[in-house]
Every structure is written in structure tokens, then in C-alpha cells.
Amino acid sequence: MSDVSWSDAEKEIAQTAFEKAYGREIAVLIQEVRAQATSLSELEDLWRLHDFLSTRRHDVDGKYDYRYSMLVFVFSRLVKEGWLNLDELAGLEESKLAKIAALTRM
């Protein structure tokens, strides 16, 4: 299981990539919430914002799982969703990169 064995160099690459994706997604989320908040005019809009935050919170909490046994799946999802480029993972073992790339095509 090479997925769960990460060298120090790989851990550093993983950490950086993880934080980059996280930062990007949160920045966009904050923008979205600000935009929704600007156009609030009635109660329904408030509750729509609340529902939106509930969904996104659940989603973000579940997605950013920094366990080494999960990282290959986490990264493939982040690439698929556009929060990360595959080349930002350069330096990881070939087998991990291949697996991540394969998963993004599923």
C-alpha cells in the first residue's frame, strides 16, 4: 500500500497542495456568501443562505480529510473539482500520481 506510505518530501508537497486547494475553495465560498448576502431582501433569502451554508459546511468538512490513507482520494476529488492542478502534485511517487490521475477520470 504505497498510498499510505509518504516520504517527508511527499508530505511537504501534499501539505502545500492541500492548503492551496483549501484556500482557493474557501476564498470562492466567502465570495459567494458575500454576494448572496448583498442581495438579501427577504426572509426566504436568509433561509436559502442558511441552507447553502449547511450544505457547503457538510461538504467542506467531509472533503478536506488529511489522513495519509485518504489523500489520494482527496486529491483526485480536488483536481476533478478544479481546486488543484495535477502538476501541483509533482514530486509525489509515480504510483500515487497515476492513481490520482486515474481517479479524476472516473
The residues of the shown chain that bind a copy of itself, judged by CB under 8 A, are 26, 29-30, 33-34, 36-38, 40-43, 45-47, 49-50, 53-54, 56-57, 60
Type of residue found at 33:
V
Question: In the complex, what is the shortest distance from the CB of residue 82 to a copy of itself, in angstroms, rounded to a whole number?
Answer: 19
Phi (first) and psi of residue 92, to 5 degrees: -75, 160
- The residue (of 1 and 43) whose beta carbon lies closer to a copy of itself is 43
Beta carbons within 10 angstroms of residue 4's beta carbon: 11
- The residue (of 47 and 68) whose beta carbon lies closer to a copy of itself is 47
Beta carbons within 10 angstroms of residue 15's beta carbon: 13
Question: In the complex, what is the shortest distance from the CB of residue 44 to a copy of itself, in angstroms, rounded to a whole number?
Answer: 10
- The residue (of 29 and 103) whose beta carbon lies closer to a copy of itself is 29
Residue 90 DSSP SS3: strand
Question: In the complex, what is the shortest distance from the CB of residue 60 to a copy of itself, in angstroms, rounded to a whole number?
Answer: 8
Q: How far apart are CA 61 and CA 102, in angstroms?
A: 24
